[in-house]
């Protein structure tokens, strides 16, 4: 199955995409995770990426497509894409190579997203994500996977968040119309378990 998951910042895309990937046995391809991994590596490309994403700006299409396409080619059986496409041009690029079968749209009001972002944390060393209230680590401030320090993403600071939300409404929302007949709307303003149940029900229809 070839799936997209779209929705505003902190709508739960990453969490739900992980669950879907496990259930369908397909990879969860997150453009944001790929970029953050390159940033953590400290490479020249990683430094360039950091200067863009830390301000909440979008990286150039060629760069992100190069990364995504590399993974798509390795998984002809299917995938769930999270964070890509983010603009109409990116969607058209994807459609030419690998048209998605369904597009899950996670809907949450901006105010809810902003409240969730304030509690979001990420492991400094491995990138695993947490939320202080909804998805806490076992030990406060410490990653369950590798013991790394939990920090706030630089692009989760309020100024960058405002920019990213505005970009979502202006640049990503047009994808809903573009993929109209493939879109499955999910109310993301519920707990993780409830949203997951809704997704399973809708995917099996
Ligand atoms: P995310 O984890 O999806 O919120 O992505 C984090 C950041 O990575 C975004 O704010 C952008 O700076 C960058 N990014 C992720 N996906 C894309 C994309 N498809 N096109 C351009 N920039 C992206």
Residue 52 lies in a domain: no
**Residue 164 falls in the annotated catalytic set:** yes
- Strand, helix or coil for residue 124: coil
Asked if residue 68 has its Cβ within 6 Å of ligand 1, the reply is no
Residue 88 lies in a domain: yes
Residue 108 lies in a domain: yes
* pLDDT tens digits, one per residue of 35-82: 999 999 999 999 999 999 998 899 999 999 999 999 999 999 999 999
Asked if residue 83 has its Cβ within 6 Å of ligand 1, the reply is yes
Residue 48 lies in a domain: no
User: Which domain does 161 fall in, by range?
Assistant: 2-27+75-204
SS3 content of the chain, % helix, strand, coil (to 5): 50, 15, 30
Going by their DSSP bridges, the two strands 183-187 and 2-6 should be labelled as unpaired
* pTM of the complete model: 0.90
Q: How far apart are CA 73 and CA 98, in angstroms?
A: 9
CA-based nearest residue to 149, from 126, 133, 166, 183: 126
* pLDDT tens digits, one per residue of 87-131: 999 999 999 999 999 999 999 999 999 999 999 999 999 999 999
Domain count, the chain: 1
Say whether pLDDT at 10 is over 80.
yes
Residue 40 lies in a domain: no
Asked if residue 142 has its Cβ within 6 Å of ligand 1, the reply is no
List 2, 13, 36, 87, catalytic entry: 13
List 36, 87, 120, 121, catalytic entry: 120
The 10 Å Cβ neighbour count of residue 128 is 15
Residue 82 lies in a domain: yes
CA of 31 to the centre of ligand 1 (A): 6
Residue 23 lies in a domain: yes
Q: CATH number, domain at 162?
A: 3.40.50.300
Residue 120 lies in a domain: yes
Contact predicate 4/187, CB 8 Å: no
Q: Assign residue 170 a region (left: φ > 0; alpha: ψ between -120 and 50; beta: otherwise).
A: alpha
């Amino acid at each position: 199955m070839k799936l997209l998951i779209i929705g505003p910042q902190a709508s739960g895309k990453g969490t739900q995409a992980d669950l879907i990937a496990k259930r369908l046995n397909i990879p969860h391809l997150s453009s944001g995770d790929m970029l953050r991994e390159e940033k953590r590596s400290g490479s020249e490309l990683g430094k360039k990426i950091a200067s863009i994403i830390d301000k909440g700006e979008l990286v150039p299409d060629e760069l992100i497509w190069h990364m995504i396409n590399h993974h798509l080619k390795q998984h002809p059986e299917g995938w769930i894409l999270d964070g890509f496409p983010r603009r109409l041009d990116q969607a058209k690029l994807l459609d030419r190579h690998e048209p998605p079968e369904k597009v899950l749209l996670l809907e949450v009001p901006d105010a809810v997203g902003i409240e969730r972002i304030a509690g979001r944390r990420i492991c400094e060393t491995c990138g695993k994500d947490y939320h202080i209230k909804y998805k806490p680590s076992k030990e406060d401030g410490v990653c369950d996977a590798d013991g790394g320090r939990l920090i706030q993403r630089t692009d989760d600071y309020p100024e960058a968040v405002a920019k990213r939300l505005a970009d979502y409404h202006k640049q990503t929302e047009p994808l809903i119309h573009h993929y109209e007949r493939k879109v499955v709307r999910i109310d993301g303003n519920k707990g993780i378990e409830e949203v997951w149940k809704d997704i399973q029900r809708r995917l099996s229809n």
